[in-house]
Amino acid sequence: MKEKLEELKTILAEVDDISRAVAIANWDLETYMPPGGAEGRGNIVATLSRMAQETFTSEKVGGLLDELMPFATELDKDSDDARIITETKRQYEKLVKVPAEMVGERAQLRAVGNPAWRESREKSDYSIFKPHLEKMLDWVQRYADLFKPYDHIYDPLLDDYEANMKTVEVQETFDTIRPQQVELIEAIAAAEQVDDSFLHQAFEEDKQRQFGKEVVGAIGFDFERGREDKVTHPFATNLGYGDQRITVRMGDDFFNPYLFGALHEAGHGMYEQGISKDLARTSLYTGTSLGIHESQSRMWENLVGRSKPFWDHYYPRLQELFPSQLGNVSVDDFYKGINIVKPSFIRVEADEATYNLHIMLRMEIEIALLEGSLSVDDLPEYWNTKFEEYLGITPDNDADGVLQDVHWSFGLYGYFSTYALGNLISVQLWEKVKEDIPDLEAKVGNAEFKPLLTWMNEKIHVHGSKFPPQELMQRVTGSGIDGTAYISYLKTKYGDIYNL
């Protein structure tokens, strides 16, 4: 059987190589490709995507898996080889239902639709992106139908990002935490408000970048195995062992977007940099789920990067770079300013108290689109109505409303809920880290980040996707994904900031 296993690994390596080539092409599409290259890039990505799909779902792979599954039961169930076999089997059984032509079709739709979304957003004109959204939504509905019967049309989409999780589970979790977050937001609104005006002024981009790269390097992102580039909508991607890319959005009139975005994407990058090299070019060489992935980015962005100990250490350096902007602002006022609670239009700039409401709104809209109760024609008006209902404000234009997220241009339906799940997981993990490293906050205050990163490497990163998300959480924290710790964290943090 070992020969069969090696044969399977050889095929998986080929599939991984093709998939990384697709990732490189898509990274370039977002960063440096000229606008005129969209159609040609779409053809390239479509061809490579079909190749990966056809190779992975071949009869050869299916036969090898049938032969190897009994062998997997003889191995240590937690060994790399056993998990490679069982995880590959799980992926195979799902992907074999998807025709290679459909995979290529989506790649083409993405390559053309994403530049259209960017133009649409820049011009704040939904009509430019609308026909592309219609085509992608049609593709997503046809994709979901491949997995009938399902409990809900959203289930097979969610499963792509959170294996084995059901729509009803996420809805129940959101229904539990939503009223508590709304109650907290209402209490904050009634309290004395925080001033963050000093964050909304000119901050030279080159100095922001200098500070950001210093901090990102200090927390543990390895620039010898990664790089940082500018884009319209930030993301991180793994281009193969030793090559993790993060991207950022820059602006010279508001301090927050670049630095906290860089910390966020670095969290994703460090997860991928920490996966065992033994898993490279296998089906396990990726994060186990987007919720777990997002927990890493939100942890570094918020639990570290927006913490008081972090700024007790780094604020003098920031004042040194921006003396006219921050020289007369105390570290206490700065800390409160970067943690201000204020309903805003842009999800990636939302504060911790309101962020999950952005996610719940998007999930509700996706479900309505997929169920057919909402049309693409009515989407902008529906978005604005729901935004007013959830956050009490109404976008003035399409760029701040329905066009602000890149995800639908890539067909990433089912993705948004993982952001909120990541918030919950981040605090669950943080509480566990503090049990093992009692002086964690003091270490953050001394810019000693290695103990935290090492803990995450050993407990989370190194395993790649060996363990499904709920199983990994049970192993590390002793419980499944739960919002209790997150709500407690929010109440404590903002109770202190707003004297609640």
**Looking at the annotation, which residues are catalytic?**
265
Task: Annotate the chain with three-state secondary structure.
Answer: CHHHHHHHHHHHHHHHHHHHHHHHHHHHHHHCCCHHHHHHHHHHHHHHHHHHHHHHCCHHHHHHHHHHHHHHHHCCCCCHHHHHHHHHHHHHHHHCCCCHHHHHHHHHHHHHHHHHHHHHHHHCCHHHHHHHHHHHHHHHHHHHHCCCCCCCCCHHHHHCCCCCCCHHHHHHHHHHHHHHHHHHHHHHHHCCCCCCHHHCCCCCHHHHHHHHHHHHHHHCCCCCCEEEEECCCCCEEECCCCCEEEEECCCCCCCHHHHHHHHHHHHHHHHHHCCCHHHCCCCCCCCCCHHHHHHHHHHHHHHHCCCHHHHHHHHHHHHHHCHHHHCCCCHHHHHHHHCCCCCCCCHHHCCHHHHHHHHHHHHHHHHHHHHCCCCCCCHHHHHHHHHHHHHCCCCCCCCCCCCCCCHHHHCCCCCCHHHHHHHHHHHHHHHHHHHHCCCHHHHHHCCCCHHHHHHHHHHCHHHCCCCCHHHHHHHHHCCCCCCHHHHHHHHHHHHHHCCC
Burial class (CB in 10 A: 0-12, 13-18, 19+), 58: middle
Other Cβ atoms less than 10 A from the Cβ of 9: the count is: 18
Per-residue CA distances from 99 to 45, 52, 60, 94, 126 (Å)? 16, 12, 16, 11, 31
Rounded-to-integer distance, Cα 339 and Cα 350, Å:
10
CB 480, CB 473: distance < 8 Å: yes
Q: Which two tokens stand for residue 342?
A: 């204020």
The residues near 254 (Cβ < 8 Å, ≥ 6 apart) are 199, 200, 203
Rounded-to-integer distance, Cα 453 and Cα 164, Å:
28
